[in-house]
Structure 1
């Protein structure tokens, strides 16, 4: 499974689920969004596996993604979830910081977990390189490529003019030719990066519709809480959990329940279709000045928004607009996603080593399974 096969489904609601298997990590990267440490929280493996066991061939996510912290501190759990996903027709992915890369060979339990998933992605950037040298990362990727594993790199940089991005992407291409696709994303002032990364106040401006593609996939936090938002401040409880983003808890809810909430919630559907700033201004009379995500977090408590969105769902045009917005995002393809949410000048690097595949549009109706966007 190539990186583009994953990004192709990014705009499709409930096409995937993201597991945060642990917050623990042995690295101390200065930009870590989760502020992970080896003594960070970790919840029982059986809770995550139980949820994966609710997938069925008739009702499962197209993609099952796993991360942390460092997910490969729990290699048995990664392997078990990947095996369960494959058994019902779902494909799997794991993202790792390669804490094990300086060992002479990949540890056997970790190697078994990597072999079980359909795609392995490694994080590397100037902060990771302070912990795991570039040469060690390249050695692991060579070992996996030689074994026939589909791999990619997720690289974080401080904007299009960051010299590190030019250096690392050129180095990867010298080392591997066209074999390793790269998703290059901008650094955000969250987690440890908040302590040193400059932020700038956002001026108020008239809101236009700006759909939130990132509200498409349910995200399971380290504690089992499921939201339609992967923003780390929400996952960590640094902001009060917005009621409209809560989808359930894997200790008591199954995949079908979570998926139905993700697809049927009027507020989540409106965020995917119009974006939070448009909703806040149209129904709450408030201009956005705090930021895109910050505006979204307040929608549940902004007077008039819930009622306005409920009325919006009753309009005959609502479903047509929603489907049109989704189609535009799907038709934009993986490159469209990489240009919008990554560093645009490096977006083409996601295509390295790929062969053209059909678009995900055919999955749109199957993922929704004719569920109407109603309350």
Structure 2
């Protein structure tokens, strides 16, 4: 079974077409104040399993995709859906990486179905910070870390770099896994995202002129939701239904999922956003007025450009994409 480090995963994610993210549920029981998708205990979840099976089949049939991330919400609230996805994807030869809060680790031993899921994974991203601790207590993080490490699966601990969070995360890892915890886990600092409930905690960043934005590092992160919505990137607001129509597509079966993913990957505009960035594209006549307009994020500029795109393939973008590929 493949085992992946954080750097391995970053390398795969930065290889166009090599990975996708499966968003299996909106639901999460933890209720963190900083949640970027506003997940709640009563949020929507999988109801159409025939559609979901088609989604998994569609992802499994993507020939260039070697790794599938699974997130939500909290993936482990979807016992049937998560098990179905992990089995189907690993049997198709895909490496699976799950993003979890560890809420499921109420005791030192996990239920057998969770052990079965974990055993098939290449890595587990486990989040901790003051918001997670407030929502589920400190014990579950330690239990989850020990269970995952017991399977020999690499753990990537994500913690927001604010206050003493990173130091507390190191202490929690040492308490759970011992002084040599780095043999089992990596600690990766993250930042708060101004989406979902997190918008109340993290305001927009500084405003830059359109021409100042470089390449987008998430435009290759195609996301497939449990309800058939495929988005070109992992912007949380786009996943939840916001943004211009050109950033997403609704699919009803495996063939439509594969086609949507392949179309987004082949799109010259999105390829250029990932290689030269939207700032460089402000030199084109239809975007020149955006060069000096100020935006709080690269997403705002992308959305404005996407709204202006004409239907059909643009030969100028095709030529530029060919030069920069």
TM range (shorter): 0.7 to 0.9
CA deviation vs aligned residue, 1:111-132 (integer Å, no higher than 9, x gap): 2222232222211111101123
1:299 aligns with 2:305: yes
SS at 2:190 equivalent: strand
Contact preservation (8 Å) 1:245, 1:268: no
The residue number in structure 2 matching 1:114 is 118
Q: 2:272 aligns with which of 258, 270, 273?
A: 270
The residue number in structure 2 matching 1:371 is none
SS at 2:130 equivalent: coil
Correspondence 1:250-289 to 2 at 5 A? 251=253, 253-280=255-282, 282-283=284-285, 284-285=287-288, 286=290, 287-289=292-294
Shift of 1:301: 2.5
RMSD (Å) for aligned C-alpha atoms: 2.7
Correspondence 1:1-375 to 2 at 5 A? 1-3=3-5, 4-43=7-46, 44-55=48-59, 59=63, 61-158=65-162, 162-169=163-170, 171-172=172-173, 174=179, 176-200=181-205, 202=207, 204-205=208-209, 207-208=211-212, 210-237=214-241, 239=242, 241-249=243-251, 251=253, 253-280=255-282, 282-283=284-285, 284-285=287-288, 286=290, 287-290=292-295, 291-302=297-308, 306=310, 310-315=314-319, 318-321=321-324, 323=325
Change (3 A) 1:127 1:141: same
Counterpart CA distance in 2 for 1:236 and 1:180 is: 31
Shift of 1:20: 0.8
TM-score by structure 1 length?
0.75
Shift of 1:165: 2.1
State the aligned residue count: 313
Contact preservation (8 Å) 2:210, 2:301: no
Shift of 1:146: 2.2
Gap runs ≥5 in structure 2: none
Contact preservation (8 Å) 1:23, 1:40: yes
More off after superposition, 218-227 vs 24-33: 218-227
TM-score by structure 2 length?
0.85
Shift of 1:76: 2.8
Q: Which has the higher contact order (CA 8 A, sep 6+)?
A: 1
Shift of 1:234: 1.3
Counterpart CA distance in 1 for 2:239 and 2:60 is: 27
Counterpart CA distance in 2 for 1:175 and 1:135 is: 19
Contact preservation (8 Å) 1:60, 1:88: no
Shift of 1:306: 4.7
- Structure 1 segments, 4+ long, off by >4 Å, are 55-58, 305-309
